[in-house]
Amino acid sequence: MSAPIDNPASGQAVAVDQPSRPQPRQSTFSRWANRHRKWLFAAPAMVFTAAMLIFPLVWTIYLSLTNAQGSVRAPKSFIGFDNYIDVLTDTERFWPAVGRTLVFTVGVLIAQMVLGMCIALLLRRSFRGQGIVRVAILLPLVATPVAVGMMWRLIFDPNIGPANYLLSFVGLGPFSWLAGERTALPTTMLIDVWQWTPMVALILLAGLTSLSDEVDEAAAIDGASTWQRFWFVTLPLVWPSVLVALLLRGIDALKTFDILYATKGRGGGSFHEVETLNVYAYGLSFDYNEYGVASTVLILFFALIIAAMLALTSRTKER
């Protein structure tokens, strides 16, 4: 609980009324600064963010209504909603990119939530050597995503990579992994799951650690099975942490760029096999300089992100 020290409406310190308080010696500036400290402190950060955020947003909306392309200084004319019609009827690049974005996001979220919960439950009780395990799950999380992409390129290389080599011992494969037209997207999803499942695990572990054992033990005494205890006792209690993890990971998964670009390069590969909305918008902007169309894709992409966030947070309020 954070009770404000003084009354924010008047900016008057509560303590002023108390007769015993020694009066601080203050210059006019200091008095002014203290009275307006709420905005004095908050304004620089807000001005910076607004300048870096609002101008681009307005500019992007404007560009999406023009035929801007080529050089950033090239003349452009207002064409209304033509870009939107073009993009929304584009079944070759746009809709497949939407599909890939959704498949990627939903797929990695499910895998990361399930695996993250398993890891968190596994590490919940302390054991010898837990320090090493915690280090091991922290490393992927802080590794540079582009370097991680390069690393997996070697591991998943169909000829010289260890992935096919190891799987051959259990009679699986060989798989074409990133090189295959159909296997590329699932492979990038595997990489994302490797890198970010630890984040979900750490968040859920923090949630689990804050629970008391008593309810769980009471349920055990009442004869609940391990699965019942998890499903009806632990999961509802840790649910706020699940939602935080889902929201944080969901936003980042929708915007995934680094590992896709590092593993498949421009345009999501020669058949656009991993081209998500973010990769598509980047390609339109900086490979083809189609700023007008790119802005339209970005506006629609942004709308998708906001819609997903609102859907998640409104579910939170219901609970």
**Binders of another protein among 116-145, rule CB under 8 A?**
118-119, 122, 127, 132-145
Binding mask 52-71 toward another protein (x if CB under 8 A, else -) reads xx-xxx-xx--x--------
Task: Give the residue with the Cβ less far from another protein, 113 or 251.
Answer: 251
DSSP code for 58 = H
Asked if 12 interacts with another protein (CB under 8 A), we say: no
Region for residue 297 given its phi and psi (left: phi exceeds 0; alpha: psi -120 to 50; beta: otherwise): alpha
Residue position matching structure tokens 């979900």: 200
The residue from 202, 246, 253, 293 that contacts another protein (CB under 8 A) is 202
Tell me how far apart the alpha carbons of residues 266 and 274 are, in angstroms, rounded to a whole number. 10
Asked if 285 interacts with another protein (CB under 8 A), we say: yes
Asked if 291 interacts with another protein (CB under 8 A), we say: yes
For residue 280, the minimal CB distance to another protein (Å) is 9
205 to 234, contacts with another protein by CB under 8 A? 205-207, 210, 213, 217, 220
- Are 130 and 140 contacting, i.e. CB atoms less than 8 angstroms apart? no
For residue 223, the minimal CB distance to another protein (Å) is 14
First to last CA, the chain: 22
Cis peptide leading into 174, omega within 30 of 0? yes
Task: Give the residue with the Cβ less far from another protein, 185 or 203.
Answer: 203
Asked if 274 interacts with another protein (CB under 8 A), we say: no
Please choose, from the candidates 219, 240, 221, the residue with its C-alpha nearest in 3D space to the C-alpha of residue 230: 219
Look at residue 159 and give its three-state secondary structure: coil
The residue from 19, 22, 75, 223 that contacts another protein (CB under 8 A) is 22
The residue from 94, 117, 194, 272 that contacts another protein (CB under 8 A) is 194
Pick the stretch among 77-85, 103-111, 176-184, 279-287 that binds another protein (CB under 8 A).
Answer: 279-287
For residue 92, the minimal CB distance to another protein (Å) is 20
Phi, psi of 138 (to 5 degrees): -80, -30
- Are 66 and 77 contacting, i.e. CB atoms less than 8 angstroms apart? yes
Binding mask 242-271 toward another protein (x if CB under 8 A, else -) reads -xxx-----x---x-xx--xx--x------
Taking each helix axis from N to C end, the angle separating 130-142 and 184-209, rounded to the nearest 10 degrees, works out to 130
